[in-house]
């Protein structure tokens, strides 16, 4: 469940010249012992000619840390696609 929206930005992440959407958030869920857990997360939606498509694989390479900022997520994602900071 969405706990907090930390930020939304529209930037070209993958270098195709189209603006993509990056969403930084906190999600909440019940842990193993039914205790509430809040975890940082993000999503990237790439713009294509037919709309926006979520990248569900990038988080395997770039996990979100609790203290990551939007700029850090954008920088890491752009580096993932070969952009230099």
Residue 69 domain-assigned (yes or no): yes
pLDDT in tens, 60-82: 999 999 999 999 999 999 999 99
pLDDT in tens, 5-55: 999 999 999 999 999 999 999 999 999 999 999 999 999 999 999 999 999
pLDDT at 3 over 90: yes
DSSP secondary structure of 19-61: PEEEEEEEEEEE-TTS-EEEEEEEEEEEEETTEEEE-SSHHHH
What's the whole-model pTM score?
A: 0.88
What was the pLDDT predicted at 14?
Answer: 96
Structural domain of 63: 2-80
Residue 27 domain-assigned (yes or no): yes
Residue 48 domain-assigned (yes or no): yes
Name beta bridge partners: 10: 21
Work out how many domains the chain is built from and give that number: 1
């Amino acid at each position: 469940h969405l706990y907090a929206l930390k930020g939304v930005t529209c930037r070209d992440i993958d270098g195709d010249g189209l603006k993509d959407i990056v969403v930084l958030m906190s999600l909440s869920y019940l842990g193993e012992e039914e205790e509430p857990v809040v975890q940082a997360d993000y999503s990237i939606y790439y713009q294509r000619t037919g709309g926006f498509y979520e990248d569900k694989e990038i988080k395997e390479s770039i996990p979100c840390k609790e203290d990551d900022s939007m700029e850090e997520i954008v920088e890491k994602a752009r580096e993932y696609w070969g952009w230099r900071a």
